[in-house]
Structure 1
Amino acid sequence: MVKSHKIIVAGCGGMSQAWIADAVARENAEIVALVDLFENTAKAAAERHGLTVPIFADLEAALAATDANLVFDVTIPASHKQIVTTALRAGVHVLGEKPMAESLADAEEIVRVSEETGRRYAVMQNRRYMKPIRAYRDLVRSGKLGDIGSIHADFFLGPHFGGFRDAMDSPLIVDMAIHTFDQARFITGADPVSVYCHEYNPPGSWYKGDASAVCIFEMDNGIVFSYNGSWCAEGLNTSWEADWRVTGSKGSAVWDGTNLPVGEAVDETEIGGFMNAFKRLDVPAAYEGRSGHDGCLDEMFASLEEDRPAETDCRDNIKSMKMVFGAVESARTGKKVML
C-alpha cells in the first residue's frame, strides 16, 4: 500500500510517544524523519519504536532532505510558532500539540500563514474525543434542558511535572485551561465575547507563576461560563476533564469528567408547589470513535484525507486560544477583557 502520509516528527520527548506510536500503526502513514535539538532524545525515540530514519536538529533541513507532506509538532509551546510556520511555508500540513502558541499574536500569525499557504494546521484537543463528553454535548444541545443559561467547570489537581511548566508565568491558564475552555465551547456550541479572570498562587504551590484562577466568560449566545481551577490542589482531586454543571430553563445536567453525565428536567406532569418535581433524563452514548489522543488523531487524519478542515483546525482553535490569553490579560489588568 502506498503511504500517503509521510511524516516528520518534530520533538521527540515524552508527549511524542503517543503520536509516533499512532503513526507507526497506520497503514497509510510512515515516519520519514525525526527532529530534536537533542540527538540522544531522538535516537531513544527511534529505538523505542523500531524506526530507521534520519535524525535532524533542524526542521528546515529535515524538510529539504525528505519528501514529507506532514509534520507532527510535539515540541514545547515556545517552539510551536517557528515549527508550524516553517512547515506551512514549505507546503506541508501540520498536526500539533496544544497550545497553538505562547501568545495570541503568534497564534493569529499561524492562522494567517495557514490561510495564505492553503496548508492545514490542526491542534490536539483530545478531551473532545470521549464517549461521556459527546453524550454531554448531545444532551445540552438537545433542548431537553430548555434554554441554557450557564455552564460551570471545577478543575482541581496537583501534578508535579517539573520542567518548563514549573517555570511558566501562568501554567494553569496557558498550558492546561485551554482544554477546559475548549470543552466549554464544544459542549455549548457557543463562542466567547468577554472574560474576567483573577489569577493567584496559593500557599504550598510549587509553580513560579500563578497556578490557580477563577474566570467568568460571557458567550455569544448569552450563556455564562464560570471556571474555577487549580493545578496545585492536593487532595480530593477532580478528573483531568473537570467537574461540570449546565443549567437550563427546564433542567440541569452534571458530568464528573469520567462517567456518563446525569440530567434532570422539570416533570411537566407535576407542575406546582414550592419546588418542582423532576424526571431523570436518558443520556444515550452514541459516540463510537476511539478515545482521547487516538480519537483526535483519527479526526485529524480524516480531515486531510477528505480535504476539509479538522474539527480542531487552527481557525476554530484560535477561539479557545482567545479565551486563554484574554484570561491572562484580564488577570494582569484586573479588568474585564473583550474577546
Structure 2
Amino acid sequence: MITNRIVIVGCGNMAHAWVKTALARQDSEIAALVDLKEESAKRLSEAFGLDVPFYTGVQEAIRETGANLVFDVSIPEARKQIVTASLEAGCDVFSEKPMAVSLEDAKGLAAAAESSGRTFSVMQNRRYNKGIRALKQLLAEGTIGQPGMICADFFLGPHFGGFRDVMESPLLLDMAIHTFDQARFLIGSDPVSVYCHEFNPAGSWYRGSASAVCLFEFADGSVFSYRGSWCAEGAPTSWEAAWRITGSGGTAIWDGTTPPYAEAPAAGGQPSFIRETRRIEAPLVWSEDEGHAGCLAEMFAARQEGRRAETDCTDNIKSIGMVFGALESSAKGVKVSLL
C-alpha cells in the first residue's frame, strides 16, 4: 500500500541517494520532480527510469499530484521558501542539511512546522554508522562513568573546487555541523555556550577560513573540544572524525573507522601513581542501514509511527545553532551563549 507520495525538489547529484531509497520502499512512490532547470530533472529521470511529471514550483507539484511528502534536496538558499511552501500545502518534509542558512530562518521553519501540524526532518547521515552507535552504547552503559571532556579532531585536505573554495567559512558552514551533531548525539546533552577561533592557515587553497578550534560547554557540565581543518594534507582523520571521550571512570576512543573501545581502571588494581587499566571492546551490533539510507529509514519510521524523527527540526536546530554560535564567537572574539 502506497502511503508516501513524494515530490523531490532539487534534481542534482545529491538527489540520487534519496531517489534510490524511495524506490526501494514498497510503501512509497515518486510523484513528481521539481527543479528550475528542466535538463536536471531529465537527467535524474533517465538515471532511474522515472516517468513522472516535472514542475518548476513545489506548490503546483503538490497540488496536481496529491503528494504528502517532500524531499528537499535543493540548495540551502532555497530551503526557507521550499520548506515553508511544502508545510503550508500539507506535506511533511525531509530535507538535506543544513536546516537553514541562518538561525533566524531555522527558528522560523521550526515554528512553521509546529503551527502546520506537519513534520520537518533534516539529514544527519553521520549519526547512522555502526561505529558511532557502538560508541554511544558504550557511553550509555556507563563504561567510562560520566563523560566530562569530549574531543573530536577532523583533519582532511579535500580539493573540491567550486563553491566551497570561495566560501567565507567552508569548514564551519559546510562540514562541522556533522561533528557538532555527533557530539550532541553521543552525550545526550545540549550546548549552552561556545568560544571559537576560525582561521585560514598557510598553504590553504580556500579563500575563506578552512580551519577552526571550538570549545563548547554543555548543560551537563561537560566540555566539547573541536579541532578541524579542510586544508590538512597528510595523516588524515576519518570523515567521521577521531574521538576521545574522558569520563569519571575511564576513557573511550574511536578513530572513526575501526571499532571503538574504552579503557577503565582495572577492578581490584593496586593503588599506584598511574593505575592499571583494562580494555573494553565495543561490538559493532548496529544492523540497520547506514549513512543516508539509515537516516531516511528513521525519518520514514517516525512518520509511520506518528512521532518526531531523531533529526526532527526541533532537535536539529540545536546542532545548527552550534554552527551559527561558533561563527558569531569567531567574528566577535568572545564566548557566545547558545541559550
Structure 1 window deviating more from structure 2 (148-157 vs 281-290): it is: 281-290
Shift in Å, 1:248 = 0.9
CA displacement at 1:164 relative to structure 2: 2.6
Q: Is the 8 A contact 2:10 2:34 kept in 1?
A: yes
Name the SS of the counterpart of 2:262 in structure 1.
Answer: strand
Question: Which residue of structure 2 lines up, in the alignment, with residue 210 of structure 1?
Answer: 209
Secondary structure at 2:202's aligned position in 1? coil
- Please state if 1:94 is matched with 2:93: yes
Q: Does the 8 Å contact 2:260/2:281 carry over to 1?
A: no
Tell me if the contact between 2:6 and 2:67 (Cα under 8 Å) persists in the aligned partners: yes
Which amino acid is the alignment partner of residue 150 of structure 1?
M
Cα offset for 1:91?
0.8
Q: Is the 8 A contact 2:68 2:91 kept in 1?
A: yes
Letter in 1 for 2:163: F
> Per-residue displacement from partner, 1:8-61 (whole Å, max 9, x unpaired)?
110111111000111111111111111111111110000000001111122122
What is the correspondence of 1:246-325 to structure 2 with a 5 Å cutoff?
Answer: 246-325=245-324
Separation in 2 of the partners of 1:199 and 1:330? 9
Deviates more, 1:45-54 or 1:202-211: 202-211
Quick check: 1:140–1:246 contact (8 Å CA) kept in 2? no
Question: How many angstroms apart in 2 are the aligned matches of 1:194 and 1:289?
Answer: 34
Which residue number corresponds to residue 22 of structure 1?
Answer: 21
Is 2:221 the counterpart of 1:219?
A: no
Checking the alignment, whether the CA contact within 8 Å between 1:81 and 1:101 is kept in structure 2 is yes
Deviates more, 1:212-221 or 1:200-209: 200-209
C-alpha displacement of 1:204: 2.5
Alpha-carbon distance in 1 for matches of 2:166, 2:89: 33
Write the distance in 2 (CA, Å) between the matches of 1:161 and 1:83.
27
SS of 2:293's equivalent?
helix
What are the within-5 Å matches in structure 2 for residues 7-18 of structure 1? 7-18=6-17
SS at match of 2:45: helix
Quote the Cα distance in structure 1 between the aligned partners of 2:65 and 2:202: 51
Q: 1:208 offset after TM fit, Å?
A: 2.3
Deviations 1:263-299 (A, max 9, x none): 1000131131111000011313332111111111110
Equivalent residue of 1:245, what SS? strand
Map Cα deviations across residues 192-249 of structure 1 (whole Å, 9 max, x no partner): 0000000111223222221110000000000100000011211211111000000012
Q: Does the CA-based 8 Å contact 2:143-2:262 persist in structure 1?
A: no
Matched, 1:165 2:164: yes
Provide the C-alpha distance between the structure 2 equivalents of 1:105 and 1:208, rounded to a whole number of angstroms.
26
3-state secondary structure, aligned to 1:252: strand
Q: Secondary structure at the match of 1:152?
A: strand
Counterpart for residue 236 of structure 2 = 237
CA deviation profile, 1:102-126 (whole Å, cap 9, x unmatched): 1100011000000000110111111
Structure-2-length-normalised TM-score? 0.97
Contact 1:73 1:83 in 2 (8 A): yes
What SS does the aligned partner of 2:39 have?
helix
Secondary structure of 2:175 counterpart: helix
Indicate conservation of the 8 Å contact 1:150/1:223, yes or no: yes
How many residue pairs end up in the alignment?
338
Letter in 1 for 2:335: K
SS in structure 2 at match of 1:298: helix
Question: Aligned AA for 1:270?
Answer: G
Aligned-residue offset at 1:87: 0.5
Q: Distance in 2 between matches of 1:316 and 1:237?
A: 30
1:95 is displaced (CA, Å) by 0.4
Q: Using the alignment, how far apart are the partners of 1:39 and 1:167 within structure 2? A: 27
User: Match of 2:32, SS?
Assistant: strand
- Residue type of the alignment partner of 1:121: F
In structure 2, do the counterparts of structure 1 residues 271 and 248 end up closer, same or farther at CA, with 3 Å as the change threshold?
farther
Aligned to 1:47: 46
Aligned to 2:63: 64
Verify: 1:121 aligned to 2:153, yes or no.
Answer: no
Give the whole-Å Cα distance in 2 for the aligned partners of 1:30 and 1:121: 19
Partner of 1:287, secondary structure, is coil
How many Å separate the matches in 2 of 1:88 and 1:42? 23
Question: Is contact 1:190-1:221 (8 Å) kept?
Answer: yes
What letter matches 1:161 in structure 2?
Answer: F
- 1:137 maps to what in 2? 136
Give distance in 2, aligned partners of 1:150 and 1:208. Answer: 32
Whole-angstrom CA distance in 2 between matches of 1:303 and 1:322: 23
Residue identity in the other structure for 1:126: N
The residue identity in structure 1 corresponding to 2:144 is L
